[in-house]
Structure 1
Amino acid sequence: MLRKLNFKVLINNAKFSTIAVPRVNDQNLDLKAAKPFHEIPKINRLKLIINYLPGGKYYKKGLNELHRSLSKEYGNIVIMPAMLGKPEIVFSYSDHDNETILLNEGNFPNRYSFEILKYFRETLRPDVYGGEYGSVASENGERWYKIRTIINQVMLPPKNVQQFVQPIDEISNEFIDFIRKRSNDTNDEILGKDINLWTLESMASVTLNKRLNLFNEKFIDPRARELIQCVRKFFIMTVDFELNPSIWKFYHTKAFKEYMEVNDKLLNTVLSFIEETMENMKNTTDNNQEVEGILQKLLKIDKRVAVIMASDSLFAGIDTTGSGTIGVLYCLAKNPEKQEKLRQEILKIFPNKDEPIDARKMANMPYIRSCIKEALRLFPPVSGTSRTIAKDLVLSGYQIPAGTVVVTWPQLFYRQEKFFPKSNEYIPERWLKESVKDCPHLQVEKFHFLPFGHGVRSCPGKRIANMEMEVLLINLLRKFKIEWHQDDMKVNSVLVNIPYGDIRFKLVEL
C-alpha cells in the first residue's frame, strides 16, 4: 500500500490570473502534393521486438544510440508501430520538419506524455495532480496553460532570477570548501556525485528557500541522498517502460510495482520538504526577507500550483542541471585555452578571488554564456521532444494527419557539419555576436539548437539553471585550473543524458 502524505491540508483555493501568449504564423503547406501517410517507412513490429531482446541491436541501447541507428537505416522519417497499448509514433530526424512542427503548434502545444507516469499521477496521486491543475511537465491543453501561465510570472522575469545569485554564490563557495576539506592540498577533485549534491542544494535554496546542509556530513538530511537516488532510478525506469515493450497496461509486474513505489517515495520526500517550508513560513515573523523562494512566491498566487511546481522543479532539476554542469566542466577541462580565455573574462569583472558575485556585473560576461551554450550543444541534458500535432502537416514530403504523435531528435543536428562547422570541436566563439572579430563561424539557425525547448513549452527553469552554472564557474575558475585525466566522458541517454563512469575533475589551485 502506497503511503500518502496529507497533501490536501496544504491547499486552499486561489484566484487565477493569466498572461497572453502570442500566436505563431502558420506555414503554407501543400498537403495535396505530399505523399500519403501510409507510404512512410515503417518498422516491422516483429523485427522491433526481436531487436529489443538480448542480442538484438536495440538491446540495452540508450535513446541517442537508438535514434542514430534509426536515422541511418530509414532516413529522415520512420513510423514506430503501435504495440502493447502504445500509440503509433512518427520519428522525424529532419531539421525542416522540426521547424514546421514548432511553428505550427499554436497556443496549447500538446506534448506526448509518458503514459506510465500519467497513470501514477492521475490514478494513484490525484491528491497532488488532480483538480484544476496538473504537472507543468506532463499536462496538456487548458490545464497545462493555466499552471504554466502562473509559473511564468515567477520563474521567467530576470529580476526574479537575479535575486538568487547571492544565495547560489554562498552555496558554491561552501561547495568549494567542502571539496578542499575532503582532499589534501595536492589532490583536490570534484566527482560526478559532488555535482549532484551542489545541484540539489542549489535547487532547494531557489525553490524552497531551504538549506539541506549537503556539504556537512554531521547535519545532512538523509532524505536528500534518497531523493538523488530516487531521481536517477525514476529516469532509468521510465524509459524502460515507455521505450521497451511492456505489458504494464494489462498486468502489473514486479517492476511496475517497484516503479510506482519509486514515484511515491520521490513525491513524498519532496512533499515533506515543502511541508516543512510552509510550516516555517507560518512561524516566521520576518516579513522583510531579502530573498523569497519560488514556493513562497507561488503561494501568494495559488497554493496548489506552488506545491506542484516545487515538487516538479526539485526532482526534474537535479539531473538536468547536474548533467549540464558536468558537461561544461568537461569541455573546459579538455580545452584549456578556452578555459583560460573564460578565466580572463571572469577576472576582468571579478578580480578578487573572494569577491561576492554581483548579478549586475554578470550581465557583462558574454563569453561565459557562450561557453555554457557550446557545452550544451556537445552534451545536451535533453535530446528530443514530442508533440501530438494539432493540424495536418507535411513532414519530409509526407502527409501527417492531426492527432499524430511525432518525436523529433534535435541532438542529431548538433554534431552535423552543415549546421555547425567543426561540429565535434568545442568552439564557444560560434555563439558570440557577429561583431566579435574572434568569431569566424556562422551564426546558428534558431531551430538547430534548442537545449531548453521552444516557445511556450520551453523549460521554465532555463534562466535559473544558466545562472546557477555561471555562478559556479565564476567561483571555480577564479580559484582553480580544472583538469581531466580520464578517458573520454560517456553519457547514458535515458529521459535525460546522464554522464557516467569515472567522472573526476582535478582542481589545481591558482
Structure 2
Amino acid sequence: MLRQSIKLGQSTAYRWSSSAAALKTNAVDSSYVQQLQAEWKTAKSFKELPGPTRWQMFRGFMNGGEYAKMDMRNLMIYFRELYGDTFLMPGLFGMPNNLVTFNVDNFEKAYRTEGQWPVRPGSEVFVHYREKRADGFFKDCMGLLSSGEQWGRLRSIANPVLMQHRNAASYLQPMQRVNQQFVQRIREIRDKDTQEVPGTFLKEINHLTFESVAVVALDRELGLIRNPEKSPKAQKLFNSLQNFMQTFYELTMMPSIYKYVSTPTYRRFSRAMDDIFEVCSFYINQALERIEKNPADSAGMMSVLEQLARTDRKFAIVMSIDMLMGGVDTTSSALSGIMLNLAKNPEKQAKLREEIVAKLPHPTDEFTFSDMKALPYLRAFIKESLRVYPVAFGNLRATGADMVLDGYRIPKHTRLLMNSNLLLDDERFYPRAKEFLPERWLRQQPNESENLVADNMSPFVYLPFGFGPRMCVGKRIVDMEMEITVANLVRNFQVEYKYPTENAFKSTFINQPVIPLKFKFTDIKY
C-alpha cells in the first residue's frame, strides 16, 4: 500500500520555460500565419491524400496479409514507394488516422506551429490503462504522457531536475559502479577459448541499462548484474518491462478492439503495467522513507527522486515508473548499435581508445565530469552510431494548427508521423552515408575540402532525442550513461564481431537487435 503523504515540501508549479530553439518554434509570427492561410485557400482537400484504404489496412495486418510480417521500417518504406513522401494511414476500430511524411519541410512546419503545449500522440493505450485503474491513482497525474496544461505543469517540475548538468553529474559515480559490474560480467560469461559472449548478450545489455536507470529512478542499485538469482523482485520488474514493450507495440500498431473488449494482448499489457506499478512503488516507498529519515541538507546534493518528491510526491512516483519504461530498451538499442560499430570499424575503435587512454591511462581510473566533457571523439562516435543505427523511426506529433503539407489541407490535431530517422542514410544530407565516419561530427574534420554533412542541412533531419519542449527529458542522463559505457568497454576490451550484420535490427517503435550479439571481448594489455 502506498503511503498517502510525505512531508518533503509543498507542491509547487513552475512557470514553463524552454530552450531558445523551442521558444523560437512556439512564437508563430503573424507573417507565418498569413502564409499558412494563403496556402490553405489553394490546397487539395484532406480526403484526397494518397494511402491505403481501411480495408487494405485491416486485411494487410491479418495473418497472411502483405503487412503482417513487415516491421515498422519496412512498412514505412513500402508505403513510401507506393504513395510518395506524404500519405495517410487510416485508423481501425476507433484508432485515429496517421499522416505519415518523409518531407523535411513538413517537419519544420509541424514544429514551428506546435504551440505552448505540444501534443505527442501514440500513448492512447497508456492513458486507457491509467484512466481505468480501479484505485484511481493516475486520475490527477497521468505523467508526461499527458497533454495540455497538466503536461505543462508536470514538465516544468521535471525540467529543472532532469535537464541540469549538475544533477546528471551527481550520478557519474553510481553509474560507473554499475558499469564496472558489467565489465566484470563480460569476463565471467565469455568463452575461455574464443573470448566470445553468448548470443543472448542482449539480455546482459538490458540488465546494464535497467540498473543504470534504476539508480536514478529508484535511487538504488537492484543487483540484477551482480546477483540476478538473489533479486527476484528486480527480476519481476525487468520481465514486466519486457512484456510491456511487446504488448504496447501490438496494441498501438495492430488492429485491436481493446477499448471496447479486454483482449488477451491487452490483459497481458495490463498485468505487466500492474506489476511495474507494484514493484516500483515498493522500491520508491523504501527510498522515500530513507530520504524522510535522512534528508539532504541545504548544502547536500539531493537525488532526482528527492527533488521531485519535494515538489510533487505522486509525480515523483509516476516519473520514476515512466523513466524505467522509456529508458531501458531505448538505451539498450543504442548501445547494441554502438558495439556493432566498434566491432566493424577497428581503426575507429583504436582512435577512440587512444583518446580515452590519454585522458585516463588505467582502466580502473574513474572519470570525472570534466573528463567526460573533454572527449570529443567519443561523443562523435556515439552520434555517428545513432545515425547509422537510430533508436526509433522518428517523431510523432499532433499538428498544432491548420496547415498545408505537400499541397494538402491538414486540419489541426491531425496525428503526424515524421519519419526523420529513415532519412539518415540519404546522400542528400550525409555524403558517404553508408560509411561509418565519426569525423563528420567533429568541428575540425580531417579533410576540410570534403563536406561529410550537407551544407545548410535542415536541423530537423537528425533528432535522436526529439525536439522542442517535448524532447527527451532524460537526455543528459542517457548521454552520460552511453559515454561511460562506451569508454569503459574500449579501455578494457578490443571489441570484435565475426558474423554478418545485415538486417541486424527489427523496427517496432524502437529498433531492437535480432541477431545473436556474440561479441568477442579481448582484454587490453597495459
TM-score (norm 2): 0.90
One-letter code of the match for 2:461? Answer: H
- 1:135 equivalent in structure 2: 143
One-letter code of the match for 2:42? Answer: A
Give the stretch that moved more between structures: 223-232 or 384-393: 223-232
- 2:71 equivalent in structure 1: 62
Query: Is the 8 Å Cα contact of residues 85 and 102 (structure 2) preserved in structure 1?
Result: yes
Q: 1:469 aligns with which of 455, 460, 482?
A: 482
Unaligned stretches of 5+ residues in structure 2: none
Q: 1:6 aligns with which of 2, 7, 30?
A: 2
- 2:17 equivalent in structure 1: 20
1:17-74: CA deviation from partner (whole Å, max 9, x where unpaired): 2242325243433222322222211311212211112222210322112111111111
1:328-373: CA deviation from partner (whole Å, max 9, x where unpaired): 1111111111111111111121122221111112111111111111
SS in 2 for 1:128: coil
SS in 1 for 2:519: strand
1:239-283: CA deviation from partner (whole Å, max 9, x where unpaired): 211211112222222332222112111222222221121122234
Q: 1:272 aligns with which of 255, 274, 282?
A: 282
1:346-402: CA deviation from partner (whole Å, max 9, x where unpaired): 112112222111111211111111111111112122223222212111111211111
Q: Quote the RMSD (CA, aligned, Å).
A: 2.2
1:248-327 pair list within 5 angstroms: 248-284=258-294, 287=297, 292-327=302-337
Query: Is the 8 Å Cα contact of residues 179 and 189 (structure 1) preserved in structure 2?
Result: no
- Answering whether residue 418 of structure 2 is matched by residue 408 of structure 1, we say yes
1:383-437: CA deviation from partner (whole Å, max 9, x where unpaired): 2322221211111121111122211111211111111112222111111125665
Count of matched residue pairs: 504
1:104-143 pair list within 5 angstroms: 104-124=113-133, 127-131=136-140, 133-136=141-144, 138-143=145-150
- Answering whether residue 434 of structure 2 is matched by residue 424 of structure 1, we say yes
- Answering whether residue 522 of structure 2 is matched by residue 508 of structure 1, we say yes
SS in 1 for 2:385: helix
- Answering whether residue 52 of structure 2 is matched by residue 43 of structure 1, we say yes
SS in 1 for 2:460: helix
Give the stretch that moved more between structures: 359-368 or 79-88: 79-88
CA distance in 2, matches of 1:7, 1:493: 40
- 2:40 equivalent in structure 1: 31
Q: Post-superposition shift, 1:120?
A: 0.3
One-letter code of the match for 1:20? Answer: S
Query: Is the 8 Å Cα contact of residues 86 and 406 (structure 2) preserved in structure 1?
Result: yes
TM-score (norm 1): 0.93
Distance 1:459 1:286, change over 3 A: closer
- 2:167 equivalent in structure 1: 160
Give the stretch that moved more between structures: 168-177 or 285-294: 285-294
Distance 1:314 1:293, change over 3 A: farther
- Answering whether residue 208 of structure 2 is matched by residue 198 of structure 1, we say yes
- 1:442 equivalent in structure 2: 453
Query: Is the 8 Å Cα contact of residues 208 and 293 (structure 1) preserved in structure 2?
Result: no
CA distance in 1, matches of 2:16, 2:500: 49
- Answering whether residue 472 of structure 2 is matched by residue 459 of structure 1, we say yes
Query: Is the 8 Å Cα contact of residues 213 and 219 (structure 1) preserved in structure 2?
Result: no
Q: 1:243 aligns with which of 246, 249, 253?
A: 253
Q: Post-superposition shift, 1:117?
A: 1.7
Q: Post-superposition shift, 1:291?
A: 5.4
CA distance in 2, matches of 1:41, 1:352: 59
Query: Is the 8 Å Cα contact of residues 165 and 358 (structure 1) preserved in structure 2?
Result: yes
Query: Is the 8 Å Cα contact of residues 154 and 297 (structure 1) preserved in structure 2?
Result: yes
Give the stretch that moved more between structures: 425-434 or 144-153: 425-434
Q: Post-superposition shift, 1:220?
A: 3.6
SS in 2 for 1:447: coil
Query: Is the 8 Å Cα contact of residues 228 and 318 (structure 1) preserved in structure 2?
Result: no
- 1:74 equivalent in structure 2: 83
CA distance in 2, matches of 1:16, 1:320: 30
CA distance in 1, matches of 2:134, 2:374: 46
Query: Is the 8 Å Cα contact of residues 10 and 303 (structure 1) preserved in structure 2?
Result: yes
CA distance in 2, matches of 1:125, 1:397: 47
Q: Post-superposition shift, 1:227?
A: 2.2
